[in-house]
Amino acid sequence: MNPRDDAPAPLDPLPEPHTGLMGRFRNYFLTGLVVTGPVAVTFYLVWWFVTWVDGVVRPFVPLAYRPETYMPYVIPGWGLIVAFFTLTLVGFLAANLIGRTLVDVGETFLGRIPAVRAIYRGLKQVFETLFSGKGSSFRKVGLVEFPSPGMWSIVLISQSPNEDVSRSLPGQEEHVSVFLPCSPNPTTGFFFYVPKSKIVEVDMSTEDAATLIMSAGVVQPGSAPDSKKAAALAGMANAARIANASALQPQPAKVE
């Protein structure tokens, strides 16, 4: 009797993942979701903004000048066009001497109302900073240690505090105001002053930072998957799987 006949037969290699009909349908469904999802959400947000502007502008336009008065349906985007030309006209009138005088008179009137004065001045400074094109707020991205040492959070760097706030802050080091957006809604967050030396500036645009925050780190800016790297990683994983399976196989007994 041959001793090798009593040796256990080697195990079969691990089966490859089964890709049947349901697996293909699943892949097709996920591919369609990835392709159409961002487009659908983008169109929905644009449509919501257009209809919202139409609803705000329509009550201020007389019935004789509304397109739906002469047509059996409402034209979407008509209110947005009216708002665009109205704002352009207001800007043109405010640029001349008469317009500036009227604006100064209106600001003087609002400045005499205690509750409205603070709201108007704050909103005016925000709009001038964001839409004038001269401000430098929220154009740089940085990292600060928050909420505890060793944990880093992405912040949007704003301007330096004014003299009154600077004198009240402890230490002699220059401070910078930053905004820390929350995930997944970057419109909410925390505002605080940080010493300038404690901020690590990152070579990243604010759009990439917003994408990183909204995706909770799932979408990394500038890290698009490379097909060659993905194939190499898949090959390494397959080789490791085969090596582990071979290590688990019992070795045949030696015959002396």
pLDDT in tens, 126-142: 676 666 555 556 778 88
Tell me what pLDDT residue 8 has: 55
> Is the full-model pTM beyond 0.85?
no
Tell me what pLDDT residue 5 has: 53
Low-confidence ranges of the chain (pLDDT < 50): 1, 14-16, 224-230, 233-234, 237, 248, 254, 256
pLDDT digits (tens, 9 = 90+) for 181-235: 888 777 788 888 888 888 888 888 888 888 888 887 777 776 544 444 445 544 5
Strand 140-145, strand 200-202: pairing:
antiparallel
Phi, psi of 117 (to 5 degrees): -60, -45
Tell me what pLDDT residue 230 has: 42
Contacts 24+ apart (CB under 8 A), 210-218: 210/181, 210/186, 212/154, 213/154, 213/181, 213/182, 213/183, 213/184, 213/186, 214/183, 214/184, 214/185, 214/186, 215/184, 216/183, 216/184, 217/183
Tell me what pLDDT residue 229 has: 43
Tell me what pLDDT residue 136 has: 55
Tell me what pLDDT residue 47 has: 92
Tell me what pLDDT residue 208 has: 84
Tell me what pLDDT residue 40 has: 92
Tell me what pLDDT residue 227 has: 43
